[in-house]
């Protein structure tokens, strides 16, 4: 099988190594010529995955047509904010018989569209899947057991994605609930910021456990309100990803929230944000706008929004939990 992976960040490279385990031909695309040259020269991305060597038979290009022309499967692994631009470029060259797998998580800020909806604006296909779940790139490359949800309504696409990615290290559990998987994959970064705040203020794991549990109920309600399957909250993409992102120092969103909880200066926080992508900050605005447009009651999101954008004190998170019915 021939696989194109769009995006050479940590997650795209980690997925490439999983696909390589399954003996597929791999072409990776990056927008940046200097990044392509660095990857070809050093066979390593020292910035995002230091020490992880990239096999010589994984190829790189900055030309979208060259990247996807022979691919059976195209995996999109760019940050959510770049999916619109990438899919516009992809539109010029893709073939209707090709299969697509979205590994990006998030919501478009202006439109509140989930990633698959953004993608489908330009690439009209029913051969589409989404993968999501608790999985840091640094853990994937260690070849330890990892579980992801695979959402698609196309049986052939399901098998193509499994043949490319599933092996003794990576387990893919199938569902048809694309919307539910996308909601879980997006909102968990927002919840992780608040969990980090609680940690930074010195609250123990027991309090974080209470907060995560309350968040699960709210996310389940949101999934149901928007037309997804509420059982999706119990999947790898739901509880699994939420648990990982809300409790681990490897999580950039958790670490960002921890800095706020610790009372770090605005300069320290801004410096951190300049050097790190905090997806939860951007998703927070979109989720907040979405729930207001859809008239969904999510007091946890309201409070996190007020803390980040209206200077409400993080201590209000603990007060919220104390007063929760």
Tell me the per-residue pLDDT of 157-207, one tens digit each, with 9 for 90 and over: 999 999 999 999 999 999 999 999 999 999 999 999 999 999 999 999 999
Question: Where in the chain do CATH 1.10.1040.10 domains reside?
Answer: 187-322
The dihedral through the CA atoms of 90, 91, 96, 102 has a sign that is positive
**What superfamily does domain 2-176 belong to in CATH?**
NAD(P)-binding Rossmann-like Domain (3.40.50.720)
Is the pLDDT reported for residue 23 higher than 90?
yes
Quote the pLDDT of residue 109: 84
pLDDT tens digits along 58-113: 999 999 999 999 999 999 999 888 999 999 999 999 999 999 999 999 898 889 99
pLDDT tens digits along 35-55: 999 999 999 999 899 999 999
Rounded to two decimals, what is the model's pTM?
Answer: 0.94
Is the pLDDT reported for residue 325 higher than 80?
no
Quote the pLDDT of residue 276: 81
Is the pLDDT reported for residue 32 higher than 80?
yes
Question: Where in the chain do CATH 3.40.50.720 domains reside?
Answer: 2-176
Strand runs (DSSP E) across 95-192, as ranges?
A: 99-102, 128-132, 146-152, 170-175
Residue 66 is given by DSSP the state: H
SS3 category, 107: strand
The CATH number of the structural domain formed by 187-322 is 1.10.1040.10
Per-position DSSP letters for 32-52, written without gaps between them: -HHHHHHHHHHSS-TTTSTT-
**Encoded tokens for 305:** 């929004």
């Amino acid at each position: 099988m021939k696989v194109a992976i769009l995006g050479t960040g940590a997650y795209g490279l980690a997925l490439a190594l999983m696909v390589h385990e399954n003996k597929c031909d791999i072409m990776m695309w990056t927008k940046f010529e200097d990044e392509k040259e660095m990857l070809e020269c050093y066979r390593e991305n020292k910035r995002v995955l230091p020490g992880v060597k990239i096999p010589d038979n994984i190829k790189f290009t900055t030309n979208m047509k060259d990247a996807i022309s022979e691919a059976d499967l195209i995996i999109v692994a760019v940050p959510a904010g770049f999916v619109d631009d990438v899919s516009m470029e992809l539109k010029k060259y893709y073939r209707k018989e090709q299969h697509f797998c979205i590994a990006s998580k998030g919501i478009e800020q202006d439109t509140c569209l989930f990633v698959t909806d953004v993608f489908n604006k330009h690439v009209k296909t029913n051969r589409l899947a989404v993968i999501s779940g608790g999985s840091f790139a640094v853990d994937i490359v260690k070849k330890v057991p990892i579980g992801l949800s695979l959402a698609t309504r196309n049986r052939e696409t399901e098998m193509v994605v499994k043949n490319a990615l599933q092996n003794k290290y990576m387990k893919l559990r199938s569902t048809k609930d694309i919307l539910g998987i996308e909601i879980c994959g997006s909102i968990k970064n927002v919840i992780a910021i608040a969990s980090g705040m609680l940690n930074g203020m010195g609250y123990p794991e027991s309090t974080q456990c209470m907060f995560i549990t309350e968040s699960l109920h709210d996310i389940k309600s949101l999934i149901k309100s928007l037309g997804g399957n509420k059982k999706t909250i119990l999947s790898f993409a739901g509880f699994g990803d939420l648990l990982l992102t809300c409790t681990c120092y490897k999580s950039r969103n958790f670490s960002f929230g921890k800095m706020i909880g610790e009372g770090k200066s605005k300069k320290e926080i801004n410096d951190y944000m300049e050097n790190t992508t905090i997806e939860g900050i951007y998703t927070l605005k979109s989720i907040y706008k979405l729930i207001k447009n859809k008239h969904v009651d999510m007091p946890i999101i309201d409070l996190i929004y007020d803390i980040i954008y209206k200077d409400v004190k993080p201590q209000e998170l603990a007060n919220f939990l104390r007063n929760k019915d």
